[in-house]
Amino acid sequence: MTTEIHPGAVASHTAEELQQLFARQQAFFQSGVTRSYGFRKAQLGVLRKAIARYEQPIQEALYKDLRKNDFEAYGTELGPAYKELTHTQQHLRGWMQPRHRSTPLMFFPSTSKVVPEPRGVSLIMAPWNYPFLLLIQPLIASIAAGNTSILKPSEEAPHVAAVVKQMIDETFEPDYIAVVTGPGQQVSEQLISRHHLDLVFFTGSTAVGRKIMQAAATQLTPVVLELGGKSPCVVAADASIDYTAKKIIFSRFLNCGQTCVAADYVLVHHSVKDKLIAALKKHLLQMYGNDPQQSPDLGRIINLRQFNRLTGYLSQGNIVHGGQHDANDLYIAPTILTDVPMDAPIMQEEIFGPILPIIGFDTHEEAKAIIAKNPYPLALYVYTNSSSTERYFMEGIQFGGGCVNNGIIHLGNTNLPFTGVGYSGMGGYHGKFGFDQFSHLKSIMRSHRLGDTPLWYAPYKKWYVQVLRKLMR
């Protein structure tokens, strides 16, 4: 498919249009059409065919917005979307079944179950760094759960937003699934704060996440927030350094460092710090060459505003590798910094780019104290061959998810939830976790008329209390 799509032609929605869209989706949901297994399964198939039709325009749009090469476009956007669809289609019938639960003896004769119910109208707001995947993956969960969906792609990735809008408009009726455009703040003010949506799913920065939550609070709308933070990477003295360096480079510089779960800084034991830096340099040269600007495997910064923010960090430490940049090309070389003051902005703010500070430590307690300065990271990575070191960090730090001896790959497992904690977010998704997040888990207890006990009815006899004491302990 080679349809030319012009992002400039996508107009913002007015408050009246958003109100009408919400009312139409609410009416469609209340009709009950979305509730059946057959409908949900069919719509997942329709979405899969639509993505397949639009693969080429999606890849082209990802290149235009972020200079994503074919490997990254498929490996981090299209491929995971297909995988999520396959997993959901295979397991949907089972997920939808009532979940039978045991019932306390005191309520005999009764049975208990949890029934996954559709929530209603969901709003999904995606970021610009993985602008296709982080819109489509939550949509898959929303469809599977039986909701209607309003999609808000990021205006910072205009080519992807335009392609997705055309794909959705061509494929689904807007009463069921629709794409809204315009600045995120405008959508928040005109849709979230004025209408009782049944779920808002937002992926983005912690600062914007706070605003989304504040807007949703006016309507008591539940929210799922997938945010960010300063995710640490700990390299212990016993780590396999050459292997570790390759994994750090892959996970840090994928998508030009613009990944919410990328390691934001490396804490390395002083005894192996120099070895790690040398290994990082060696593998950076092997992966991206002497002039990374010419490498087809390195993406670009999303826009000039982010470029200027990132280049401002370059003076906050000693550049031991990289540092070259070109505003006209939105290019920043993969860069390693050392001697970074702990109070520098680069150590207070999420970097979200191809710059990696390396900080030495002597004891585990020292490393843990540094991490505690930016609590609740979205991810944590530990490289070690010691099970006790692994336990010390994995059990002693609150974080969303992570890996031991690898980086970011936990997001590729549909059997694991993707979730933050504290400042890095709330709620989670992927696979069944996404289905449950977009569902209301309704509790139902059914009692039988035969065998009813007088215990619950006044006048209460003294021996009733003795029975309760035995039944309720």
* Residues 311-361: tens digit of each pLDDT: 999 999 999 999 999 999 999 999 999 999 999 999 999 999 999 999 999
Percent of the chain with pLDDT over 90: 88
pLDDT tens per residue, range 211-246:
999 999 999 999 999 999 999 999 999 999 999 999
Distance, in Å, from the CA atom of 220 to the CA atom of 215, rounded to the nearest integer, reads 9
Q: Which residue has the higher pLDDT, 460 or 358?
A: 358
- pLDDT of 2: 47
Domains belonging to the chain, first-starting first, are 7-227+424-442 (3.40.605.10), 232-416 (3.40.309.10)
The answer to whether the CB of 237 falls within 8 A of the CB of 269 is yes
Q: How far is CA 393 from CA 386, 388, 389, in A?
A: 11, 9, 7
- pLDDT of 6: 57
User: Looking at the predicted structure, is the pLDDT value of residue 62 above 70?
Assistant: yes
CA angle at 54 for the pair 48 and 55, rounded to the nearest 5°: 85
Q: Which residues are catalytic?
A: 226, 260
pLDDT tens per residue, range 280-302:
999 999 999 999 999 999 999 99
Distance, in Å, from the CA atom of 5 to the CA atom of 20, rounded to the nearest integer, reads 26
Q: If 0-12 CB within 10 Å is exposed, 13-18 middle and 19+ buried, where does residue 34 land?
A: buried
Contacts with 469 (C-beta within 8 Å, 6 or more apart), sequence order = none
- Nearest C-alpha neighbor of 152 from the set 120, 182, 173: 182
- pLDDT of 9: 46
Residue 105's pLDDT band, with cuts at 50, 70 and 90, is confident
**Joined tokens for residue 343:** 């109070």
The answer to whether the CB of 204 falls within 8 A of the CB of 229 is no
Percent of the chain with pLDDT over 70: 98
The answer to whether the CB of 280 falls within 8 A of the CB of 248 is yes
The answer to whether the CB of 66 falls within 8 A of the CB of 300 is yes
How many CA atoms are closer than 13 Å to the CA of 370, on its beta-carbon side?
26
Sequence letter at residue 328: N
Q: What is the pTM of this model?
A: 0.94
Residue 189's pLDDT band, with cuts at 50, 70 and 90, is confident
pLDDT tens per residue, range 114-124:
999 999 999 99
Q: How far is CA 231 from CA 4, 47, 240, in A?
A: 39, 33, 21
- Of 39-53, 104-118, 157-171, which gets the smallest average pLDDT? 104-118
- Nearest C-alpha neighbor of 65 from the set 288, 251, 255: 255
Mean pLDDT of all residues in 242-270? 97
- pLDDT of 394: 97
Distance, in Å, from the CA atom of 224 to the CA atom of 426, rounded to the nearest integer, reads 6
Residue 5's pLDDT band, with cuts at 50, 70 and 90, is low
User: Looking at the predicted structure, is the pLDDT value of residue 108 above 90?
Assistant: no
Q: How far is CA 261 from CA 146, 265, 311, 460, in A?
A: 29, 11, 21, 59
Residue 367's pLDDT band, with cuts at 50, 70 and 90, is very high
Q: Is the dihedral of CA 242, 243, 246, 248 positive or negative?
A: negative
Distance, in Å, from the CA atom of 89 to the CA atom of 95, rounded to the nearest integer, reads 10
Q: Is the dihedral of CA 439, 17, 61, 229 positive or negative?
A: negative
Helix (H, G, I), strand (E, B) or coil at 429: strand
